């Protein structure tokens, strides 16, 4: 799993600006009024060949009793619980405030690595503004201007030093990694317990990180799996159980590690906004996915209910059109075993590789069936293609004018690859590169 870095601090101290600076692009909303970022914002960061997840939190105002600030405090508390390293941001223009002191006290109780940062120090001439912040008891203070990029590189050097090693976990290739993800109370624990309740060999059960995640190796019908149990991660604090928003971080870290995600939905609530976010992460990270409609025993049904609900899911989650859908009941065990069989089908296509000759025969046939667009008086050509990698299947096509191949034509090619080469249940990535004609074709 990637280490997690959380940016915390009072409202309007520049957290989103620092988040954007590290991101290298404007993702978070930046506005000069307190409370703009009310939810957590997440990004996967690559910095000097190191990877980590960055969380931008809503403003942490511990002494406020206003409802919105109480909610933001809860969100921030969740980020602190999840983080491996905390960036505590303060405002050099405002000076040290009682809220800063209170936040520092809370962070000391967490016993996690903290970097104390004074923002809005626009250059060496303003460094003296940071001196008073040593009053919170910090051994070192970093002076930066997130807006003007002053001191940020030095800060990031210390961030990288403070990160724990990436806990990728080396697992044999023949093991299929399966993450069970979804909103709270959709039945993740019940599904995992039901799966492990069947007669099979459990190889070992080992605790994961300090978040109390459990990875379980198991065997079934001659196949080996690593079940990534996200269901019990947040049993430590009631606040974590109350807030549905936490499931985003939980899903992010679990999806990072898996080959196939079992994405659970509660049919009584339909596809919620939170479901869409979690499903979106699965798709963006190029992971295999099985959509599991749990608690199907609680739904009043007729002969059309499943078909109608399938259409609803496909409409709400159009980007996951390739993901198979299964209706189960963890409580009764109905079709639970079929879920694993469906994982096998997805995992097989996810790791599948086809020959270059078969791919190029299909590309040639497809371009003859539907012509490529023209670029002025010139003809756009795809000379050849190859499968660059698996997990997910990634295909590279070389063309004379790749930028002129519209996304609708790319989608046409992807659909042809799906239907003709056996990739119906897996995400596919298609990359276009500029190159002249191949000598071999």
DSSP 12-58: TSSHHHHHHHHHTS--S---SSTT---S-EEEEEEETTEEEEEEEPP
pLDDT at 207 over 70: no
Q: Where in the chain is the domain with CATH 3.40.50.300?
A: 4-162, 175-350
Looking at residue 211, its pLDDT comes to: 37
In 3D space, the residue among 294, 302, 306, 300 whose CA is nearest the CA of residue 331 turns out to be 294
Identify the weakest region by mean pLDDT among 70-74, 116-120, 214-218.
70-74
pLDDT at 377 over 80: yes
pLDDT at 89 over 70: yes
Report whether 44 contacts 36 (CB < 8 A). no
pLDDT band at 380 (very low <50, low <70, confident <90, very high): very high
pLDDT band at 102 (very low <50, low <70, confident <90, very high): confident
Identify the weakest region by mean pLDDT among 61-65, 154-158, 246-250.
246-250
Number of residues in the chain: 441
Angle at 121 between CA 118 and CA 125, to 5 degrees: 130
**CATH number for the segment(s) 175-350:** 3.40.50.300
Identify the weakest region by mean pLDDT among 41-50, 94-103, 192-201.
192-201
Structure tokens at 79: 């980020």
Looking at residue 50, its pLDDT comes to: 86
Structure tokens at 413: 């090619």
Q: Where in the chain is the domain with CATH 3.30.300.20?
A: 356-434
258-273: average pLDDT: 92
Looking at residue 316, its pLDDT comes to: 93
**CATH number for the segment(s) 4-162:** 3.40.50.300
Q: Give CATH superfamily name and number for 356-434.
A: K homology (KH) domain (3.30.300.20)
At 429, give phi and psi (nearest 5°): -115, 135
In 3D space, the residue among 363, 338, 352 whose CA is nearest the CA of residue 441 turns out to be 363
90-94: average pLDDT: 92
Answer whether 0.85 is exceeded by the pTM.
no
**Secondary element (H or E) of residue 348:** helix 336-350
Classify 285 in phi/psi space as left (phi over 0), alpha (psi -120 to 50) or beta. Answer: alpha
Q: Could you give the count of Cα atoms lying within 13 Å of 148 in the half-sphere of its Cβ? A: 11
pLDDT digits (tens, 9 = 90+) for 328-356: 999 899 999 999 999 999 999 999 999 99
Looking at residue 70, its pLDDT comes to: 64
138-153: average pLDDT: 92
Q: Helix crossing, 247-257 with 273-284: angle to 10°?
A: 20
Q: Helix crossing, 15-23 with 152-162: angle to 10°?
A: 80
Looking at residue 76, its pLDDT comes to: 63
pLDDT band at 239 (very low <50, low <70, confident <90, very high): very low
pLDDT at 425 over 70: yes
404-411: average pLDDT: 92
pLDDT band at 38 (very low <50, low <70, confident <90, very high): very low
CA-to-CA distance for 1 and 165, rounded, in angstroms? 9
Report whether 296 contacts 327 (CB < 8 A). yes
**Residue 128: other Cβ atoms inside 10 A:** 11
pLDDT band at 369 (very low <50, low <70, confident <90, very high): very high
208-222: average pLDDT: 62
- DSSP-H helix ranges across 83-212: 98-110, 152-162, 188-197
Looking at residue 257, its pLDDT comes to: 82
pLDDT band at 237 (very low <50, low <70, confident <90, very high): very low
pLDDT band at 242 (very low <50, low <70, confident <90, very high): very low
Kindly give the pairing relationship between strand 394-399 and strand 114-119.
unpaired
């Amino acid at each position: 799993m990637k280490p997690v870095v959380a940016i915390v601090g009072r409202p309007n101290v520049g957290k989103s600006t620092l988040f954007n600076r590290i991101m290298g692009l404007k993702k978070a909303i930046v506005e000069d009024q307190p409370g703009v970022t009310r939810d957590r914002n997440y990004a996967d960061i690559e910095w000097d060949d190191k990877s980590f997840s960055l969380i931008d939190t809503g403003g942490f105002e511990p002494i406020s009793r206003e409802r919105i600030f109480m909610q933001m405090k809860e969100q921030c508390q969740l980020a602190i619980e999840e983080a491996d390293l905390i960036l505590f941001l303060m405002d050099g223009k405002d000076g040290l405030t009682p809220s800063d002191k209170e936040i520092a006290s809370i962070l000391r109780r967490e016993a996690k690595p903290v970097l104390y940062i004074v923002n809005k120090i626009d250059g060496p001439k303003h460094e003296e503004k940071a001196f008073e912040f040593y009053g919170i008891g910090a051994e070192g203070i970093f002076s930066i201007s997130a807006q003007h990029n002053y001191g940020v590189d030095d800060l990031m050097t210390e961030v990288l030093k403070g990160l724990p090693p990436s806990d990728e976990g080396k697992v044999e290739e023949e093991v299929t990694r399966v993450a069970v993800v979804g909103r709270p109370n959709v039945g993740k624990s019940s599904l995992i317990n039901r799966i492990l309740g069947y007669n099979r060999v459990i190889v070992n059960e080992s605790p994961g990180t300090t978040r109390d995640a459990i990875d379980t190796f198991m065997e079934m019908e001659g196949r080996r799996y690593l079940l990534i149990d996200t269901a019990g991660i947040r049993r430590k604090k009631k606040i974590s159980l109350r807030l549905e928003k936490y499931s985003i971080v939980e899903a992010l870290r679990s999806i990072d590690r898996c080959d196939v995600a079992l994405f659970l939905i509660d049919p009584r609530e339909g596809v919620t906004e939170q479901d869409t976010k979690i499903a979106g992460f699965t798709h963006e990270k190029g992971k295999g996915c099985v959509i599991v409609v749990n608690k199907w025993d609680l739904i009043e049904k007729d002969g059309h209910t499943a078909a109608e609900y399938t259409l609803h899911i496909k409409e709400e989650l159009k980007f996951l059109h390739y993901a198979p859908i299964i209706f189960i009941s963890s409580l009764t065990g109905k079709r639970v075993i079929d879920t694993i069989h469906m994982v096998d089908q997805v995992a097989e296509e996810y790791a599948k590789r086809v020959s270059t000759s078969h791919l190029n025969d299909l590309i040639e046939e497809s371009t003859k069936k539907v012509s490529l667009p023209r670029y002025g008086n010139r003809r756009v050509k795809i000379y050849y293609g190859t499968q660059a990698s698996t997990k997910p299947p990634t295909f590279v096509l070389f063309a004379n004018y790749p930028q002129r191949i519209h996304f609708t034509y790319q989608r046409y090619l992807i659909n042809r690859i799906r239907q003709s080469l056996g990739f119906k249940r897996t995400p596919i990535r298609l990359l276009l590169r500029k190159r002249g004609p191949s000598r071999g074709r």
